[in-house]
Structure 1
Amino acid sequence: MTESGRVWKYGDNLDTDVIIPGRYLKFSVPDLVQHAMEGVDPDFGKRVQAGDFIVAGKNFGCGSSRETAPGVLKGAGIAAVIAPFFARIFYRNAINFGLPVLECAECLEIEQGDRLIVHLEDGVIEDVTQQKNYGFQPFPPTVMEILQAGGLVSALEKRFLGGGASHE
């Protein structure tokens, strides 16, 4: 899996209430996208494009265990979130939604608007803008299976039901 797009850069400790404020949770994921990240970036939901990346500081996704947060980012078209480390519940929820979360200590060198190419199987982030490469630990085969299927439910359907219906 190779993804390419531009960077949206944010700081440390962005919690799930910032990713998607609780007051909007009564709406469906497609309707929530316009409100994603609005507390720190009011234009994000209007300007994000499929294939874009979020590069953030440490502890991205902390706070509540709001599983809607990674679902909204995936619904917005985010190809991956890159940070030095993630809140563990957010990390697991993101994988379950099929949203790659890449731990990379050096990612803070990446700038807002940079163009990236991410090679998930190889553990390489190419910053095309700065002409630098960064590494991350590639996912084990079971996690890659979940990501390639588009999430945990789809992966289980594919494995046990031979494809089944999609629940996205």
Structure 2
Amino acid sequence: MSLIVGRVWKFGDNVNTDEIIPGRYLRSKDVQIFAAHAMEGVDPEFTKKLRIGDIIVAGTNFGCGSSREQAPLALKYSGVSCVIAKSFARIFFRNSINIGLPLIEVDIDCQEGDKVKVDLARGEVIVSDRDIFKGNKLPDFLLEILNDGGLVAHRKKVTRKQLQKVLSE
């Protein structure tokens, strides 16, 4: 995965899954409905201001609350390209990897609207082409899952490779 570049939207600590995608939208299975209401519990105008490729920067415990997979789906399909936070709720972290939403744990100093570059392979975030912040580098196997577009796509790819190997023997 190459550099992820986007404009920053800042949020605080303990942003929970109900704020990321309010429960009233969970009756649907349509990811576009989730996308249209992403972050509505914190900023009702978020999706109107968001541009595809923008990046969320948050404080600690981002994605706490329920284990709903719809929260990272809402962000991914709204156009958020990456989430940067000081820390993530573990189930949100895993759900994000599973659906192919890049994220990185790092404490960065930035302002809303700043341009950031995220290098997941190095575990770095560069703010406004001047300040470099080192975070937690994702393990290679998680980077592979993200590069393949999520866990399901990754497993399909691995299964195809295994099948081709068996057929060629």
Q: Same fold (TM over 0.5)?
A: yes
Deviations 1:77-98 (A, max 9, x none): 2111111111111011011011
Identity %: 49
* Equivalent position of 2:160 in the other structure: 161
TM-score (norm: length of structure 1): 0.90
Unaligned runs of 5+ in 1: 163-168
Larger radius of gyration: 2
CA distance in 2, matches of 1:155, 1:38: 31
Unaligned runs of 5+ in 2: 162-169
CA distance in 1, matches of 2:131, 2:151: 32
RMSD over equivalenced CA pairs, Å: 1.2
Q: How does 1:70-89 map to 2 (within 5 A)?
A: 70-89=72-91
CA distance in 2, matches of 1:158, 1:77: 25
Aligned residues: 159
CA distance in 2, matches of 1:152, 1:142: 11
Using the TM superposition, give the Cα deviation of residue 48 of structure 1 relative to its aligned residue in structure 2, in angstroms: 1.3
CA distance in 1, matches of 2:93, 2:137: 14
1:14 aligned onto 2:18: no
Q: How does 1:110-149 map to 2 (within 5 A)?
A: 110-128=110-128, 131-149=130-148
Counterpart residue identity of residue 13, structure 2: D
Runs of 4+ in structure 1 over 2 Å off: none
Deviations 1:3-58 (A, max 9, x none): 10100100110100000001011231112211111121111112212211100110
